[in-house]
Amino acid sequence: MLEITDTNKFGKVTAAALAKVELTVTDAQNKKRWVNAIAKGVVEIEANGAFMTYDEKDNYLVIWSQKSNEVYSANGVCQCKAFGRGMACWHRAAARLVRLYLELPENKKPAFAAQKETKEIPYLPNTREPVRVEKYGSVRLPVYN
């Protein structure tokens, strides 16, 4: 299940991707294919995000295509016919859009931020004596006044 929570930011990522194609793809035919692939990728993410999932560890988008009933895992490569013919495909375009969107600093998993903060907090020595020890399940915790 892939859900784009901030469609405004996703729109900006899409605009940046289109601008990059405009600036870096010189072949007119290839440029047109990538622009179409990006547009189709956006539509598919919005309509069929329920049939997609993003693997953040290995950076690829798993797509269960509702049209072909095939499962594609796309990042720089894909298993579809278009990729087999060396052409742009919406699977790769969508994978790149999702990756760029998830890499926005505000979309990083809170776990990363929490981990970093915890490391910076020094352990303070305990200078107080507990009044008693209470047991919570299998954990014994000191109780202070």
* Residues at the interface with Zn ion (CB under 5 A): 78, 80, 83, 89, 91
Amino acid, single-letter form, for residue 66: Q
Q: Considering beta carbons, is residue 9 or 40 the nearer one to Zn ion? A: 40
**Shortest distance (Å) from residue 83 CB to Zn ion:** 5
Cβ-proximal residues to 93 (8 Å cutoff; 6+ apart), any chain: 17, 34, 37, 38, 40, 41
100 and 13 Cβ atoms separated by less than 8 Å? yes
- Distance of alpha carbon 110 from its chain centroid, rounded? 13
Burial (Cβ within 10 Å: 0-12, 13-18, ≥19) of residue 78: buried
Cβ proximity to Zn ion, 64 vs 83, nearer residue: 83
Question: What is the CB-side half-sphere exposure of residue 117 using CA atoms within 13 A?
Answer: 5
Q: Which is nearer to Zn ion, 13 or 94 (CB)?
A: 94
Q: How many CA atoms lie within 13 A of 106 on its CB side?
A: 4
- Least spacing, CB of residue 65 vs Zn ion, in Å: 9
Beta carbon of residue 46, minimum distance to Zn ion (angstroms, whole number): 18
Q: Is 62 or 107 the residue whose CB approaches Zn ion more closely?
A: 62
Q: Between residues 51 and 83, which has the closer beta carbon with respect to Zn ion?
A: 83
Least Å distance, CB 63 to Zn ion, is: 8
Residue with tokens 């049209």: 67
**How far apart are CB 125 and Zn ion at their closest, in Å?**
58
